[in-house]
Amino acid sequence: MGHLPERAAIGARGYHRDVRGSVYITGIDDADALLNRDPAALLIGMLLDQQVPMEWAFTGPWTLLGRLGHLDPARIAAMPVDDFVGVCCVRPAVHRFPAAMGKRIHELCVVLVATYADDIERLWTDAADGADLYARLRALPGFGDEKAKIFIAILAKRCAVEPTGWREAAGVFGDDVPRSVADIHSPESLVTVRAWKTAQKQAKKDKQDRPLKDRPLTN
């Protein structure tokens, strides 16, 4: 599964990819299955993973699929941004800040389509190495340093996408400490990651073992 094979065409543009990952985050079978077969869902879930519980963030793509009937980045990018934001704001909203994050998802889809057309796995299949993959992720809207590193760890640990140097590119998220969504593959590991995060907050440290310095805590 090193480069996410097994493509099954659906939708107007034939958009659909089979990631065949081992992600377990939401606790909802269908929502996790979507993350494990569709790279757009995984990217959108990662984008939403801030200032809300990770289960809520990664359920967002499944919620959008139910409302739109697809999760094709090209079709989302072609929608008027206000229309798409309206979909994100319907209760239950896809995020604590649905309007702002809806605009960000739309922007993400616009950039993905402009850069990778209808084959967004090229984001990682064409990456020369871990450093290149990191740079490609950092170029996406909403993907800061930590988010890019965690996504590299998800690809490697959960989807067997392991470009040369991925551990270095992922930083501490490439280690064996259960510190992020990249380390969740079962109900038991979800509990373990939650417990580790709680211990970090009590120690006033973030996911990268840095002092919190009074900045807001995020999931």
The answer to whether residue 185 is domain-embedded is: no
Name the pTM for this structure.
0.86
DSSP 133-146: HHHHHHTSTT--HH
pLDDT, averaged per 10 consecutive residues of the chain (219 residues), comes to 32 43 90 94 96 94 96 97 97 95 98 93 95 98 96 95 96 94 93 90 87 60
List the CATH number of the domain containing 117: 1.10.340.30
Return the pLDDT at 215.
52
Domain assignment present for 92: yes
Q: What is the pLDDT of residue 1?
A: 31
Helix, strand, coil fractions of the chain, as percent rounded to 5: 55, 0, 45
Check residue 126 and give its pLDDT: 94
Contact (Cβ atoms closer than 8 angstroms) between residue 49 and residue 218: no
Q: At 187, which helix (H) or strand (E)? A: helix 187-202
Per-residue model confidence (pLDDT) at position 213: 74
Those residues with Cβ within 8 angstroms of residue 151's Cβ, 6 or more apart along the chain or in another chain: 42, 43, 46, 137, 143
Give dist(CA 182, CA 176) in Å, integer.
10
Residue 205 domain flag:
no
151 within domain boundaries = yes
Following DSSP, what letter does each residue of 113-179 receive, concatenated? HHHHTT-TTHHHHT-SSHHHHHHHHHTSTT--HHHHHHHHHHHHHHH----TTHHHHHGGGGSSS--
Provide the domain limits for residue 66.
29-166
In a domain, 199, yes or no: no
Into how many domains does the chain fold?
1
Residue 63 placed within a domain: yes
> Would residue 216 count as lying in a domain?
no
